[in-house]
Amino acid sequence: MKRIVFYVFSFFLAVGVLTGAYYYSYQKAAKHARENTNIIEAEQIKEADTRKQDIVWPDTECVLEIYDKGTGQQVKGKLFDREDILGKNREELIEYLSAYMEELPLEEFQKGLLSYELLSFSADRIVLRKTYDSGQVGYEYYIAVFDNEVVVYYSDKKTVYEYTGISVTNLPEIELRKLNYGIYVKNQEELYGILENYSS
């Protein structure tokens, strides 16, 4: 009889140990599955949040307003050249516009660009405005001295129009003082008149 009790007890003990091991492995597998599900959900949420960020996307509508202060005329249109602003957030776009104004292209300077500003910003639509004052552009050229030579710049004072080859050593003192301060020139006719005077 003791043997039968021992076998029954051993049988139930073995079944209990196997059931416990099965239950433990089931719980561990379920916990692992829940963790994977949470990771996948977190990645999906992060991906959705990234799309909601306010940055300039390829499908963001970019509107450019052009306003001429001199004439009061305003024109709205789509901004087609957008490679420079793609992926930028509001602050980065403002920095880009500021840098654009600091290193103003000659063409924009000659048109009289006064400001380039951000009017509104969202992931769906941004509005930029360029303000010009064409009446303010009074001079086309700027004459100065560089390395003892008379050099003609565009009115932005950065872009060289022509190295004249005219040495300042032969110029009268009065003309040399004017050149040291710089001379603004309205048009090509006036420019060639001044240069002709210097070369004779």
pLDDT at 69 over 60: yes
pLDDT (tens digit per residue) in 102-121: 887 877 877 778 888 998 88
Portion of the chain with pLDDT greater than 90, in percent: 2
pLDDT bucket at 157, cuts 50 / 70 / 90: confident
- Do the beta carbons of residue 105 and residue 60 sit within 8 Å? no
The helix or strand, by DSSP H or E, that contains position 39, with its residue range, turns out to be helix 2-52
The helix or strand, by DSSP H or E, that contains position 178, with its residue range, turns out to be helix 173-181
pLDDT at 165 over 80: yes
Q: What is the mean pLDDT of residues 22-48?
A: 67
pLDDT bucket at 48, cuts 50 / 70 / 90: very low
pLDDT (tens digit per residue) in 117-131: 998 888 888 999 988
The chain-wide mean pLDDT, for the chain, equals 79
Secondary structure class of 122 (helix, strand, coil): coil
Q: What is the mean pLDDT of residues 30-44?
A: 66
pLDDT at 38 over 70: no
Give the range among 18-32, 138-152, 174-188 with minimum mean pLDDT.
Answer: 18-32
Q: Which residues make Cβ contacts (< 8 Å) with residue 184, sequence separation at least 6?
A: 138, 139, 141, 142, 155
User: Sheet harboring 73-78: ordered strands across?
Assistant: 73-78, 61-68, 125-132, 113-121
Q: Could you tell me the pTM of the whole model?
A: 0.54
CA gap 125, 131 in Å, rounded:
20
Distance of CA 60 to the CA centre of its chain: 14
> Strand (E) positions, the chain?
61-68, 73-78, 113-121, 125-132, 141-146, 149-154, 160-167, 183-185
